[in-house]
Amino acid sequence: MNILLDTHIAIWALNDDPLLSAKARDLILDADNTIYYSVVSVWEVMLKHARRPGEIPFSEKDFSEACKEAGFYTLGLAEKHILSVSTLSRPDSIKEHNDPFDRLLIAQAKVENFSFLTHDELIPGYNEKCIIPV
């Protein structure tokens, strides 16, 4: 299975953070799975590290290098990913989710037929079959 990691999942995996669930850890370590991180996550890390370096322990360069060292593959951003964001929807009855990084990551996973591994409790509200909440 091809798995795209949400940014926080990638950071937790790289730091061996106890917040990373056993299910997420098992999926990431399963040799039958190919693990990807997105250039969207590199961009997100860059912006958030600049604003709150204490909360985001990596610069964008360090994050990218650590992902590669961990054996994760890079998923680039293509126009088809951006255009697919408009296909995402959420019922009006659930809490709004306005994170543009997450929306791009979900769209990438959807377009590429990857699974998207996340701990964000708002993301399953998109009802996309690619989402794996952990």
Model's pTM, two decimal places?
A: 0.94
Of 127, 124, 128, 125, whose CA–CA distance to 94 is shortest? Answer: 125
Each residue of 45-95: pLDDT tens digit? 999 999 988 888 889 999 999 999 999 999 999 999 999 999 998 888 888
pLDDT(119) > 90: yes
Distance CA 109, CA 37 (A): 11
CA distance 11 to 120: 14
How many structural domains compose the chain?
Answer: 1
Identify the pLDDT of residue 94: 87
What is the extent of the structural domain holding 87? 2-133
CB < 8 Å & 24+ apart, contacts of 49-58: 56/11, 57/11, 57/15, 58/11, 58/14
CATH number at residue 112: 3.40.50.1010
